[in-house]
Amino acid sequence: QKVAVIGLGYIGLPTAALIARSGARVLGVDVSPHVVETVNSGKVHIEEVDLDGLVQGVVSRGLLRASLTVEAADVFVIAVPTPVSEDHAPDISYVLDAARTVAPVLKAGDVVILESTSPVGTTEAMRDLLAELRPDLRMPVAGNGPADIAIAYCPERVLPGRILVELIDNDRCIGGITPRCARKALSFYRTFVRGACITTSARAAEMVKLVENSFRDVNIAFANELSVIADRAGIDVWEVISLANRHPRVNILQPGPGVGGHCIAVDPWFIVHADPENARLIRTAREVNDGKTDYVVAKASDLIDAFPGAEIACLGLAFKPNIDDFRESPAVKVATRLARRYGQRVKLVEPYARELPVEFAGTGAELIDIDAAIERCGVFIVLVDHDVFKSVPLDERADKAVYDTRGIWRDQPAIAPGEGKLRAVG
Ligand code: SAJ
């Protein structure tokens, strides 16, 4: 069968490559000429474990090809961004654009699957648009009997850094506009997914995706709120969490400088926007997690001010450990605010960055490696729990003033800044 994947980003490209490896002929469609050229030359424009080798293999075997324009196919998979605007309203225009792209080449028997995280009702909106553009084809409507086109929503739920593994092994939830649509999409996913594939309605599947990420956001907010309360009470939050987690039914997540990435900090707003009156806990969790970033900036500034003149090392910029993804990263937010305030004193340590990210242009902040930071800097602000930071032994950092937002150096002693003791944890 022939598959067209619309959108060759963090989800679309790995998905296209895996489908191609399962033996289908895959056309990847993207609006960016750079992305299309890169993929066609067997290379990748994003970093993800093992993706480069996979793409190179399927492109060289002629199974995956990229293009700026769509062609006829049997299955269309849409994986385009669904951002939120400043006022937290979801923007589904890329999904609707993708539907407009696909509409002219649709034929009876085709399957159209939306994978982008979407507000409830988006798959139906896409169906309505396709119906308008192709009145010659019967689009699925619940209770209306057979249709020419099957339309389904099947959210991705993979973790950056483990995308290729999770695309195959995670369970999938497949929501059809009608049960028949779900069954057609199911037979497609069975060709490359090893996890269980469970069918439901499109609206339920849309909600499932939003709920998963909101669940995680609320639970991280709990840990972040706890970290502030414990800090003010002079208690080590990581000790409290690890002891509380010994209870058989307690599993508290880890506090940090806030929540980043392009999913968990965004998707809960889709639910809040749809029902602001009732989504109170979900909205508060967002506010708590964003507020933690402000708290970290204030605490880091207090520590820095206690050591005038000392150079400051901000450890980590990625939105989570051991990846090179800086999108919506709370570490970047904290470090840019510190760099704007303390200028050249600020040194950024990020083994996953090849150059200084644009946010820091003009601040005077500089990218250095961890060894240089240990030699030069007196104040350390730990923002990301990269393994390379965790492995720095105490004797190399015992004389540093440290604010550790991730709890990786719990053996760090407090350092006296001239007069008075200053212990910075939480
Ligand atoms: N974080 C904490 N403390 C924790 C766990 C995470 O502060 O205990 C922070 C991370 O540092 C990071 C943010 O949360 O800044 C998000 O990281 P993550 O690892 O929780 O999630 P993502 O954004 O990489 O991927 C999530 C996953 N969703 C869930 O785990 C419910 C993934 O399965 C989804 O596919 C992905 O969002 C997505 O695309 O929606």
Distance 318 CA to ligand 1 centre (A): 12
Residues 8, 136, single domain; the answer is: yes
Q: What's the complex ipTM?
A: 0.97
Of 332, 327, 419, give the one whose Cα is nearest residue 381: 332
* SS3 of residue 165 by DSSP: helix
| Residue 227 in contact with ligand 1 by CB distance below 6 A | no
Of 151, 148, 159, 157, give the one whose Cα is nearest residue 188: 151
Q: Which domain holds residue 261?
A: 234-404
Residues 244, 375, single domain; the answer is: yes
pLDDT the model gives residue 423 = 43
Cα 79–Cα 84–Cα 85 angle in degrees, nearest 5: 135
Measured distance CA(238)–CA(90) in Å, rounded: 35
pLDDT the model gives residue 418 = 54
Measured distance CA(296)–CA(380) in Å, rounded: 13
Distance 266 CA to ligand 1 centre (A): 11
Beta strand ranges found along 320-360 (DSSP E)? 346-349
Number of domains forming the structure of the chain: 2
The answer for residues whose C-beta is within 8 angstroms of residue 178's C-beta and 6 or more apart is: 140, 141, 142, 144, 147
Residues 44, 141, single domain; the answer is: yes
pLDDT the model gives residue 161 = 86
pTM above 0.80, yes or no: yes
**Domain containing residue 119: CATH number:** 3.40.50.720
| Residue 357 in contact with ligand 1 by CB distance below 6 A | no
Residues 334, 391, single domain; the answer is: yes
pLDDT the model gives residue 426 = 43
Which positions are annotated as active-site residues? 209, 263
Q: Give the H or E element holding residue 26.
A: strand 25-29
- Return the ligand 1 atom nearest residue 216 CA: 31
- Return the ligand 1 atom nearest residue 385 CA: 11
Residues 188, 266, single domain; the answer is: no
Residues 125, 247, single domain; the answer is: no
Q: Is residue 209 part of a domain?
A: no
Measured distance CA(4)–CA(99) in Å, rounded: 12
Residues 366, 272, single domain; the answer is: yes
pLDDT the model gives residue 245 = 98
| Residue 158 in contact with ligand 1 by CB distance below 6 A | yes
| Residue 160 in contact with ligand 1 by CB distance below 6 A | yes
Q: Could you tell me which residues are beta bridge partners of residue 64?
A: 26
Give the pLDDT confidence of 281-321 residue by residue, as tens digits. Answer: 999 999 999 999 999 999 999 999 999 999 999 999 999 99
Measured distance CA(78)–CA(69) in Å, rounded: 14
Residues 167, 283, single domain; the answer is: no
Q: Of the residues 202, 220, 244, which one is the last residue of a structural domain?
A: 202
Is the Cα dihedral 301, 316, 87, 209 positive or negative? negative
pLDDT along the chain (426 residues), means of 10: 96 97 97 98 93 97 98 98 94 98 98 98 98 98 94 94 95 98 97 97 98 98 98 96 98 98 94 98 98 98 96 97 91 98 98 93 96 97 98 96 97 70 43
**Do residues 408 and 238 lie in contact, with contact meaning Cβ atoms separated by under 8 Å?**
no
Three state DSSP letters for 258-325: CCCCCCCCCHHHHHHHHCCCCCHHHHHHHHHHHHHHHHHHHHHHHHHHCCCCCCEEEECCCCCCCCCC
pLDDT the model gives residue 425 = 45
